[in-house]
A and B are shown apart, each in its own frame.
Chain A
Amino acid sequence: MSLLDVRNLSVSVEDLEILHGIDLKINKGETHVLMGPNGAGKSTLGYALMGNPGYSITGGQIYFNGLEISNDSADKRAKAGMFLSFQNPLEVPGISLSSFIRNAIVQKTGESIKYSEFKKELKKNMELLSFDDSYKDRDLNVGFSGGEKKKAEILQMLMLKPSLAILDETDSGLDVDAVRTVSKGVEEYQKNQDGALLIITHSTRILESLHVDYTHVLVKGKLITTGDSSLVDEINEHGFERFM
């Protein structure tokens, strides 16, 4: 049984169909890359998988751990083990990064966690991401730079321990050092948490240090082709032209 099984999925935004019949299977621990030119519908797939109410499923189904989740709200999907890192994450004045994460863990697991354990793990993961310790007490994403917001998203992924993480353009707008740091976090998730990944990107920078199992190319709302990691290199060299 696949961890994620997307069957013939069509998705519309405000009556306009963006995705037309997507099929995609992701197994436990696998890393998939979704590439495609701007406007192909990559982010739409991420939002639809996570259950954004602005994106309506007009055909097909999504199965997660063998259960259909097509109509589940996003918090149900998160509790089932899905995670989406946002391109533009929410800013919440009045709630610190650490208390937000703790809240989410409590909500997700339905159990309270020991503060000392939480603190220890948070510290470890922040160090891994070269994320200055002071940020844990700052309001969630308020006044964070683009890079810091991305780190905060990856930090949440590491703390919430999903079984499938969807990273939506996590590398966009970052400098070389920041990409390297974020990759480190993703690597940690791959290795130590045996997490599956769907990495949505239109560049290839984040993939340099990561092990990739499958690469999919999305053009005009359709998955055109699927290959192994060598497809990444090919696109890196020749772009998307041959798929258009």
Chain B
Amino acid sequence: MKMNMTINQLPTLTWNFLKLNSVNIDEEVALNNRGNLNVEDIPAGMTVERDGKLLANVKTGMGPALDEMMDERNVETLVVRSRAGAIIEKPLILRYSLGEGDGTLRRQEIIAEEGSELTVIMDYSAGRHESGFFGIQTKLYAKAGAVIHIVKTNLLGDKYLHFDAIGAEAEDDGVIDVTQLELGGGRNYVGLEADLRGRKSSYNGNVGYLQRKGQLLDMNYYIRHLGRKSNCELNVKGALDDDAVKNFRGTIDLVHGAKGAVGHELEDTLLLSKNVHNNTLPIILCDEDDVEGTHGASIGRLSEDVLFYMRSRGISEKAAEVLMTKAKLNSVQRLINDEGTVGRIQKYIEEAFGER
């Protein structure tokens, strides 16, 4: 299939020389839908149906081009739903296993009915050095007072092209909680939009990443505060090694009328090699006065102070780099309420550093 489309476009444009306004994808991918989805036992209070498509109006951060492509190809949509009022502790695990040469498009919708709470872990895996294409779209809808936790782990092969389009909406007091670990994949494009429509609705985002030789992580986050007292916390942390490239676009949009809204974003990037390339563009759009918006970014290698402390305990520079990278990933992976998934992540990280 020939792909020619613009994705991950910024909600507001800036200088073209930065090359961050959008990404143009122009390439041929082989689609064979060989990727295998394994749905482990479905927790009580949840239903999983194939081929619904209820959230057509929810926009993702990757842009409409991917929706169009999926519509054209009639990509099936998996719908996960919680029963109203059900507080479901046990996570639903959607395990996508891909192999060499697989080319797969998928979409899924997760709907939390009023007052319910659910967790879905989406584990995207392939062999360590395998190549292929995996494009997935996930739409989330939290009804009044509902809480959606989703966990995404990218353990794809390091020659994979990966699209992850996420769109979310929350009604009054609805919570969208997204934990993401971006470890595998070759070229990874992640686009997330969350529309906080409801009063006191909130978005909680935690991203941890480690990008190494030949890897690209291109992120576009767009959090729109529409509801009064809506709240956003977006934390992105990780490390770049070898010749890895990372682009982070994070936009907090405090829309007119969102009185009392608070949006925070924080980025913390550890650079481990002189050949890395880091682009950070944290945007705040503010059209309301009774709001608070902040962002912070810290980019660089280990500071002299950190290094001296580590060394004074006998830890060498190389070991300190590994330790601090793990610390960043740990603080994200500990949010995951599933031992099996955490174990797989840890194994992946250990192997990655084993190769270093």
Binding site for B on A (CB under 8 A): 50-54, 73-75, 77-79, 82-84, 86, 89-90, 92-95, 100, 103-104, 107-108, 139, 156, 160
B313-A78 in contact (CB<8A)? yes
Determine if B305 is an interface residue (Cβ-Cβ < 8 Å).
yes
B323-A51 in contact (CB<8A)? no
Q: How far is the CA of A108 from the CA of B334 in the complex (A)?
A: 27
Task: Collect the chain B residues with CB atoms within 8 Å of residue A74's CB.
Answer: 308, 311-312
Q: When A54-B304, A103-B319, A107-B316 are in contact, do A75 and B310 touch as well, CB less than 8 Å?
A: yes
Q: How far is the CA of A52 from the CA of B307 in the complex (A)?
A: 9
Q: When A90-B306, A103-B319, A107-B319 are in contact, do A50 and B327 touch as well, CB less than 8 Å?
A: no
| With A53-B308, A78-B313, A82-B312 already in contact, 12 other A-B pairs whose C-beta atoms are closer than 8 Å | A53-B304, A54-B304, A73-B317, A86-B309, A92-B324, A93-B327, A93-B331, A103-B319, A107-B313, A107-B319, A108-B313, A139-B331
A104-B309 in contact (CB<8A)? no
Cross-interface CB contact of B313 among A51, A139, A156, cutoff 8 Å: A156
Binding site for A on B (CB under 8 A): 304-306, 308-317, 319, 323-324, 326-331, 334
Task: Collect the chain A residues with CB atoms within 8 Å of residue B315's CB.
Answer: 75, 78, 103-104, 107
Q: How far is the CA of A139 from the CA of B304 in the complex (A)?
A: 21
A94-B327 in contact (CB<8A)? yes
Cross-interface CB contact of B312 among A54, A83, A100, A139, cutoff 8 Å: A83
Can you list 9 A-B contacts (CB < 8 A)?
A51-B311, A73-B317, A90-B309, A90-B310, A100-B313, A104-B313, A108-B313, A108-B314, A139-B331
Q: When A103-B319, A107-B319 are in contact, do A79 and B330 touch as well, CB less than 8 Å?
A: no
Task: Collect the chain B residues with CB atoms within 8 Å of residue A83's CB.
Answer: 312-313
Task: Collect the chain B residues with CB atoms within 8 Å of residue A108's CB.
Answer: 313-314
Q: How far is the CA of A90 from the CA of B326 in the complex (A)?
A: 16
Main secondary structure of the interface of B (DSSP, over half): helix
A95-B311 in contact (CB<8A)? no
B25 shortest CB reach to chain A, Å:
34
Task: Collect the chain A residues with CB atoms within 8 Å of residue B316's CB.
Answer: 75, 107
B314-A94 in contact (CB<8A)? no
B306 shortest CB reach to chain A, Å:
6
A78-B311 in contact (CB<8A)? yes
Q: How far is the CA of A51 from the CA of B309 in the complex (A)?
A: 10
Could you say which of B310, B313, B331 has the most chain A C-beta atoms within 10 Å of its C-beta?
B313
Q: How far is the CA of A41 from the CA of B159 in the complex (A)?
A: 55
Task: Collect the chain B residues with CB atoms within 8 Å of residue A104's CB.
Answer: 313-315
Number of A-B contacts (CB under 8 A): 77
Q: How far is the CA of A75 from the CA of B331 in the complex (A)?
A: 26
A162 shortest CB reach to chain B, Å:
9
Q: When A92-B324, A94-B328 are in contact, do A75 and B306 touch as well, CB less than 8 Å?
A: no
A78-B314 in contact (CB<8A)? yes
Task: Collect the chain B residues with CB atoms within 8 Å of residue A53's CB.
Answer: 304, 308
A79-B314 in contact (CB<8A)? yes
A92-B319 in contact (CB<8A)? no
Q: How far is the CA of A44 from the CA of B26 in the complex (A)?
A: 59
B237 shortest CB reach to chain A, Å:
9
Q: How far is the CA of A100 from the CA of B327 in the complex (A)?
A: 10
B313-A95 in contact (CB<8A)? no
Could you say which of A50, A53, A94, A139 has the most chain B C-beta atoms within 10 Å of its C-beta?
A94
Shortest beta-carbon contacts, A-B, top 6: A94-B327, A74-B311, A108-B314, A78-B314, A94-B331, A75-B311
Q: When A74-B308, A86-B309, A90-B305 are in contact, do A95 and B314 touch as well, CB less than 8 Å?
A: no
Task: Collect the chain A residues with CB atoms within 8 Å of residue B324's CB.
Answer: 92
Cross-interface CB contact of A107 among B308, B314, B328, B329, cutoff 8 Å: B314
Could you say which of A54, A75, A78 has the most chain B C-beta atoms within 10 Å of its C-beta?
A75
Q: How far is the CA of A152 from the CA of B148 in the complex (A)?
A: 38
A16 shortest CB reach to chain B, Å:
18
A102 shortest CB reach to chain B, Å:
11
A50-B323 in contact (CB<8A)? no
Task: Collect the chain A residues with CB atoms within 8 Å of residue B327's CB.
Answer: 92-95
Task: Collect the chain B residues with CB atoms within 8 Å of residue A103's CB.
Answer: 315, 319, 323
Task: Collect the chain B residues with CB atoms within 8 Å of residue A54's CB.
Answer: 304, 308
